[in-house]
Structure 1
Amino acid sequence: MSLDSTDVPQIELEAVIGFTGHVPSGLWVHPDSEHLIYPLGHTIILKTIKDGKQEFLHGHTNNVSCISVSKSGSYIASGQVDFLGFEAKVIIWDYAQRTIYAQLLLHKEKVEALAFSPNEKYLVSLGGQHDGRVAVWNIETKRAICESPASARSAGQCLTVQYSNTNDYIFVSAGSETLVVWRLDLFTGRIEPKKCQIGKLRRTVNCVEIDQDDQFIFCGTTSGDFLKINLESGFLTDCSPVKTKFSLGVNALKIVKSGKLLVGSGCGMLSLCSHTNFKILKQVPLEKGVTSIALRGEGHQFFVGTKAAQIYRFSYDDFKADLISTSHTDAVKDIDIAFGSSEIFATCSGEDIRVWCIGRHTELLRITVPNVTCNCLHIMADGHGILSAWSDKKIQMFAPESGRPMLVIEDAHRMSVTAITGTRSCKRIISGSGEGQVHFWELHPGGHRLLKATRGHTATITCIKIKSDDKECVSASCDGTCIIWDLKQFVSLQTLNANTQVWTVCYHPEEYHIITSGNDRKITYWGVYDSSTIRKLEASQSGSNSVDISQDGKHFVTGGDDKQLKVWDYNEGVVTHVGMLHSSSITGIKICSNNRTLISTGADGAIYQWRFPHPSSS
């Protein structure tokens, strides 16, 4: 069977945990006030505010770079980035049908920003740095009416566009030393630019808002101040005083019904400011830079997105932050599901360990160790501890409910600890490190004891798995070998020579086979007793793969650098189902014990929950 076969059934995606927080104005509330709209990699997520149910819009071939929603909510427009020399796609979505209404191709490499006209006749699109064009599209005919260079040659890159609130023929573009009011002339099929006059000020505008009456343009700048421009004349009418400047610039701006300004800064400060003198009325610090502000209905409630991939809900009256969505911002390095559970799992990324609830898709606990990286983790079989391996050579165990440190092994290895697991009895730990050593530890009420340090491998240990009877374990390494260890004598029983960097190793539930994956893109079956190679399968088109086997041993799942999740029949060695919705390399896979849910993680920090296509018959 071809690896990219299109006739293989798709795995059903149930939910995702993730939010691409760095997309400017990437968070929207639909005009029906019932759905949040935001990007995650290639996908656009529609999330019901009341109960958190998710729907997905699939159609982009690369990461979504911008989103806009029409005034009535009939359309959603989204643009993407693409590779050098390729056209970046704009998709207009029919919101009611959840289908693609039009696909527009014009801009090269990236679509920087989008905006709908107030009566939904036109869509304006802005190309990225290597394109530099602004274009107006007729939504009914799905064709471009006109295009023009977005800024003068003497100016810098154009970063944002905003349409008039009342006039289908006027919109504003802004960026590095450029601020232009455009007028669309249907008779000539051209857009005429009028440069705004801001005197001797030299500013880069990050975001633009136009008041409801189309009298004034408010601009947030990288310098941390505001510009107030008369839309009709194009002249500067006011500039915020130095004392109200925002650290790391103004990244997001919204005008509420009262006329006041909601301001999100690069330092993570959310502020409410007067629109007349720009005086700060209220402030709330958030984690990392604010990139999006989305008003719900008349503005009594609004939502804020940040670079920390977090979404907050605010009430306009009390101005208090309610954190409603969290996710990783860096690559997820490891994932583990509580033994015998189908409800709780843990992930690690950067300096964080997070515990999640599968049913609610919410973060239950976050453990942060500043300035070090968690390489891998393991939930102890009794559920009383989360083992973790760190770049500072430490092994730590935390309480899964409180995050309280329960165990710290200082200098557990000479180099970074790269693999860790615990026995079913929860009395022993096996760890591996960057220099290739495998250490065997004993846990007791008073602490811990090193039982044995081995030197069987010559390169980084990537994975360790233990047999269910706690008598043997297998370690995988970048040196191209897997070693089966006796856990009583702590000696090597068998060595499997894979001749490639081995990244993942798994015991079959019946424990007569081991399967491995590595840089050779293959999945290899091995005999436990004689180290023989039984079968090799071509698993992906590029890179390594993560692997997990179902509890009944009938199927296994792979995923890797080609972004494809594959479910395989173990005996037949063929792909039964494919999931192709990941936007980055797949870094981890786990099948829940009930064989009904599959969790996968990505290099972009996203966590995907799938319906496992071969549930247990019980």
Structure 2
Amino acid sequence: MKASFKFLNLCGSVYKQGNIVFTPDGNSVFSAVGNRISVFDLVNNKSFTFPFQNQRDIAAIALSPDGKTLISVDEIGKAIFVNVKKAVVLHRINLKKPVKCVAFSPDGKYFAVTHGAHVQVWKTPNLFVREFAPFELHHTYREHNDDVLSITWSDDSRFLLSASRDMTARIHPLEFNQSLYPKMLSSHRDAVVSAYFANGNKEIYTITRDGAVVVWRGKYDDEDGETLEIPDPEDEDFLLKNRWRLSERYWFDLAKVVSTAYHKRTNMLVAGFSSGVFGLWEMPSFTNIHTLSISQDKISSLTINPSGEWLALGATKLGQLLVWEWQSESYILKQQGHYFDMNTLSFSSDGQHIATGGDDGKVKIWNVNSGFCFVTFSDHASSISSVEFAKQGQVLFTASLDGTVRAFDLIRYRNFRTFTSPTPVQFSSLAVDPSGEVVVAGSADSFEVFMWSVQTGKLLDVLTGHEAPVNALAFAPTGNYLVSGSWDKTVRLWNVFTRTRNVQPFLLNADVLCVAFRPDGLEIAAATLDGQITFWETVDGRQTGLIEGRRDISGGRMQDDRITAANNSVNKYFTSVAYTVDGSCVIAGGNSKYVVMYNVQEGVMLKKFQISENLSLDGAQDFLDYRRMKKEGGDLMYDRGDESDLEDRRNPTLPGAQRGDLSKRRYRQDIRTKCIRFSPTGGSWAAASTEGLLIYSLDEGIVFEPLDLDIDITPQNILEVLSQKEHLKALVMAFRLNEKSLIERVYEAIPSEDIALLVRQLPRIYVPNLLSFVASHAERSPHMEFDLLWINALLGIHGRFLREHSLEHAGVLRAVQKSVMDYQKNIAALCDSNRSSIAYMMDQAKALRLRRQ
């Protein structure tokens, strides 16, 4: 089994904090997700997450005007400079203070950052020149007396407009001049949230937190001392030479202003409020265009795309990201992750969908290719403990602590069956028969296993014997055995369809946390609280292996730990185990920042994956700074994010009611993996972690296999052999070099009439590789018949070989099945459309003939 998995995408979390940025073309939006950045393509309906990471949660991001570079700053002021197209980190810089806002100049030569009460302007590093010190500080402005909240550049990149908590806004020149001093705009009664240049720099709009919009207009004094209106500015320093006067003052009268955006081309001002309301106003007349409430929590960030048609809004507490087209009053994008932690996940039979369940009682289904959630079920009233797809792929089963097991129809998107026990219990585990006719759930209260019929919804049987909560269940792939794991330190194997049941328990040394069947159903794996993974044979119950994984999974130190991370393996254990498709390996994750892959037969670790490098999560650091430790714990133990403001800690729902202690702080989240599953196709696996749904796929970047190469196998020689019509030789050489683009070129150059002969002569060692390539090529190629000819020839000629090694190549065969099923769906949809069109045309022709008669 290959272990070269790499990070593919992050789902289940679409926005956390910081600002939202549109690309220059306005078709994509960048959103901060923890210490990563996700990109949502609004035109192609896809999303992906960059592989690079900041050290901590991102506080501010900025995209250059050409869209080629990105700067991302975390909570403590450490920034990375990124090439967007290559998705690689070019430079790193420590700004040494928390940053509220970062902005590129319109010409892209500079970028400005807030530095506490100061504003720093840096020169943008050159992408094409390798420099020892790429960042050069241009100037630091120290006029403000409190934190600077926002920065805006003028269109000509010569002036900066800063808004501060000291209730002032100031105009700064880029090129410092001793004779010119920054202009101060005061007369505000609260902190200035943002300020904008408008009307060709002749006007300035400042917005305060208490809802005031102040319009400033510039005037200048001539030589006689008379004050005249400003003409078209010809003087380069007119912004600092003129006199800015308060012209109008307007009020929102809705709630506290949290975020704003201004579009110069349409003179449209957008404001987001602490009550979850956002509105659009036309300036400078301050005419309200639209007002809409999208949530009960504050709108943390908003922005407008360059054309002014779409608004992107983010809410931190809800983890929600919206893109709103205000002219048609419709959603372009509406995504939200789980409000609380994600507990469990399950892959569909084709590996294209993932279902997740969280503590918020919601079940969400995500598309693996697009990264979007396309349906959310909110029928449960409590935390979701387990989700399972039926093997047929059209039904989803969920178990919850509310005492119900529900079945959801994935065609009509509704709950069509609800299973309950005779007495109210909390269900902590779930398993579905491979035929989809029987569903079982384990209880955390009565220590029983309940079995229902999916067709009738009736309770078939109750399995007893465990003496502690049953928190792990799994059906054998053959469907005749059910394995259960419990906190009573036993694993029981049940033959559920016979009167004589084998309930002889397998005794262990610690509480059982999870169980899994090997894909052939002949082996069971169970992870326990002492960090071990134990393996048994299903037939005779003989123990076949034991993996001591506590040392492998240990790593990362909590803020209140008193011993080092290397020696702290007491609380490290696996909470989820899954077999790979071929059954040769297991992948396990748990109460740690690591996910580990083991070879079952050898009992050795193949690879260790670190799911996150986010130091904002507790347990991510291996070493603690004792200078920051106190008697009551680390000073970073508590979450001091949005809860630092009094209005954020106060609960306004009930008059006179108080939500806990106003001085209380929330603990930081621990980094951990709650559930892990392998895709049925074998090409990816997913983990439900603290940060969201992490998806890893096989690394296709491996260019060659050294053992299959010799000095004659080069791209030039392969193309030369292909030009000589030696297709078999060229194809074998391309597979040895294993460069994807070259294989595709050779593959598409082979005539269709030579496919059967070439497949018959192809060495068997290359059959799985060719079949996997054809399956992936069929997903994106319009040559449907060509790919089907290859699939037909490979399965017809090498069918016996593939059947004998079906377990080893199960992932490849599932990928082929998915490709063929996609072709069938596309052809069926096309035929239905053509049938309807033909029927319509025949009806029209018949009606025309009747009118002529």
- Normalising by structure 2, we get a TM-score of 0.61
* Map of 1:282 onto structure 2: 290
- Listed one character per residue, the Cα deviations across residues 422-447 of structure 1 (whole Å, up to 9, x for unaligned) are 22233433222333613222326443
Report the CA distance shift for 1:185/1:250 in structure 2 as closer, same or farther (over 3 A).
Answer: closer
1:555 to 577, 585, 594: 585
* Map of 2:492 onto structure 1: 483
The alignment's C-alpha RMSD in Å is: 3.7
* Map of 2:379 onto structure 1: 369
Q: Greater helix percent: which structure?
A: 2
2:355 to 346, 354, 378: 346
Shift of 1:335: 0.8
Please tell me whether the aligned partners of residues 225 and 250 of structure 1 are also in contact (alpha carbons under 8 angstroms): no
How high is the sequence identity, in percent, across the aligned residues? 15
* Map of 1:569 onto structure 2: 599
2:449 to 439, 447, 466: 439
2:515 to 505, 510, 517: 505
Shift of 1:530: 4.3
- Listed one character per residue, the Cα deviations across residues 309-365 of structure 1 (whole Å, up to 9, x for unaligned) are 444444453232222655434322111123x32223311122211223333333332
Alignment of structure 1 residues 116-155 onto 2, 5 Å: 116-126=104-114, 134-140=119-125, 141-145=134-138, 152=145
Shift of 1:81: 2.7
Verify: 1:603 aligned to 2:690, yes or no. yes
Please tell me whether the aligned partners of residues 161 and 196 of structure 2 are also in contact (alpha carbons under 8 angstroms): no
Q: Distance in 1 between matches of 2:15 and 2:172?
A: 32
Report the CA distance shift for 1:371/1:448 in structure 2 as closer, same or farther (over 3 A).
Answer: closer
- Normalising by structure 1, we get a TM-score of 0.82
Report the CA distance shift for 1:470/1:182 in structure 2 as closer, same or farther (over 3 A).
Answer: same
Verify: 1:318 aligned to 2:324, yes or no. no
- Listed one character per residue, the Cα deviations across residues 3-58 of structure 1 (whole Å, up to 9, x for unaligned) are xxxxx975233343355423232x22221445432222222234544323646251
Long gaps (5+) in structure 2: 126-133, 219-238, 556-571, 615-670, 701-807, 814-853
Q: Distance in 2 between matches of 1:498 and 1:192?
A: 75
2:524 to 514, 521, 532: 514
Shift of 1:97: 4.7
Aligned pair count reads 589
* Map of 2:801 onto structure 1: none
* Map of 1:251 onto structure 2: 259
Q: Distance in 2 between matches of 1:439 and 1:555?
A: 29
* Map of 1:291 onto structure 2: 300
* Map of 2:402 onto structure 1: 392
Task: Tell which has more relative contact order, 1 or 2 (C-alpha 8 A, sep 6+).
Answer: 1
Q: Distance in 1 between matches of 2:105 and 2:699?
A: 43
Verify: 1:102 aligned to 2:91, yes or no. yes
Q: Distance in 2 between matches of 1:74 and 1:384?
A: 42
Alignment of structure 1 residues 109-258 onto 2, 5 Å: 110-126=98-114, 134-140=119-125, 141-145=134-138, 152=145, 158-175=148-165, 177-181=166-170, 183=172, 196-199=185-188, 201=189, 203-211=190-198, 213-224=200-211, 226-228=213-215, 237-241=247-251, 244-247=252-255, 249-258=257-266
**Secondary structure of the equivalent of 1:111?**
coil
Shift of 1:142: 0.2
Please tell me whether the aligned partners of residues 5 and 684 of structure 2 are also in contact (alpha carbons under 8 angstroms): no
Verify: 1:540 aligned to 2:550, yes or no. no
Verify: 1:452 aligned to 2:482, yes or no. no
2:676 to 589, 595, 613: 589
Q: Which amino acid letter does the alignment assign opposite residue 682 of structure 2?
A: N
- Listed one character per residue, the Cα deviations across residues 547-593 of structure 1 (whole Å, up to 9, x for unaligned) are 21122202222334444444433323444455545455333322222
Q: Which amino acid letter does the alignment assign opposite residue 454 of structure 1?
A: T
Q: Distance in 1 between matches of 2:460 and 2:263?
A: 62
Q: Greater strand percent: which structure?
A: 1
Q: Distance in 1 between matches of 2:91 and 2:158?
A: 20
- Listed one character per residue, the Cα deviations across residues 382-415 of structure 1 (whole Å, up to 9, x for unaligned) are 4453222223222222222233222223466654
Shift of 1:237: 4.6
**Secondary structure of the equivalent of 1:161?**
strand
Report the CA distance shift for 1:495/1:523 in structure 2 as closer, same or farther (over 3 A).
Answer: closer
* Map of 2:366 onto structure 1: 356
Verify: 1:21 aligned to 2:30, yes or no. no
Please tell me whether the aligned partners of residues 284 and 321 of structure 1 are also in contact (alpha carbons under 8 angstroms): no
**Secondary structure of the equivalent of 2:100?**
strand
Report the CA distance shift for 1:550/1:114 in structure 2 as closer, same or farther (over 3 A).
Answer: same
**Secondary structure of the equivalent of 2:101?**
strand
Report the CA distance shift for 1:552/1:533 in structure 2 as closer, same or farther (over 3 A).
Answer: closer
Report the CA distance shift for 1:530/1:310 in structure 2 as closer, same or farther (over 3 A).
Answer: same
Please tell me whether the aligned partners of residues 399 and 428 of structure 2 are also in contact (alpha carbons under 8 angstroms): yes
Report the CA distance shift for 1:558/1:245 in structure 2 as closer, same or farther (over 3 A).
Answer: farther
Please tell me whether the aligned partners of residues 492 and 503 of structure 2 are also in contact (alpha carbons under 8 angstroms): yes
* Map of 1:3 onto structure 2: none
